[in-house]
Amino acid sequence: SQQGEEDPQALSIQEGENATMNCSYKTSINNLQWYRQNSGRGLVHLILIRSNEREKHSGRLRVTLDTSKKSSSLLITASRAADTASYFCAGPNAGGTSYGKLTFGQGTILTVHP
């Protein structure tokens, strides 16, 4: 089951601009996570936001969660060329015992031009 759907699929911006990526999900969750994947590498965990949190910050990252709309957004402020990567949201698998299983969206490809 697709727990996360990212929007847009691709985003191209200039260095210094802000980048916003959105994620919608289908079932109730107790947390939602965002990951980054640089080309040819494994995913790296960025931030986890719990269902009782509305906003969370980590450095230049800001994540919001709206459980009523089943949506989350990831904002990267003052983007840098090194932020060029794919970004994925992930939520716990729906139904059954979780065992930490996640369902990932298809990702947003962010390109930051110097």
Partner 1 sequence: DAGITQSPRHKVTETGTPVTLRCHQTENHRYMYWYRQDPGHGLRLIHYSYGVKDTDKGEVSDGYSVSRSKTEDFLLTLESATSSQTSVYFCAISGRLTGSSYNEQFFGPGTRLTVL
The neighbouring-strand residues paired with 19 are 76
Q: Report if residue 49 touches partner 1, rule: CB under 8 A.
A: no
Q: Report if residue 45 touches partner 1, rule: CB under 8 A.
A: yes
Residue from 73, 84, 103, 108 in contact with partner 1 (CB under 8 A): 103
Q: Report if residue 18 touches partner 1, rule: CB under 8 A.
A: no
Q: Report if residue 101 touches partner 1, rule: CB under 8 A.
A: yes
Q: Report if residue 53 touches partner 1, rule: CB under 8 A.
A: no
Measure the CA angle with vertex 56, ends 54 and 69; round to 5°: 30
User: What distance in Å separates the CA atoms of residue 29 and residue 9, rounded to the nearest whole number?
Assistant: 23
Q: Is 82 helix (H, G, I), strand (E, B) or coil?
A: helix
User: What distance in Å separates the CA atoms of residue 70 and residue 23, rounded to the nearest whole number?
Assistant: 8
Q: How far is the CB of 104 from partner 1 (least distance, A)?
A: 4
* Contact set with partner 1 (CB under 8 A): 1, 31, 33, 40-45, 48, 88, 90, 93, 99-107
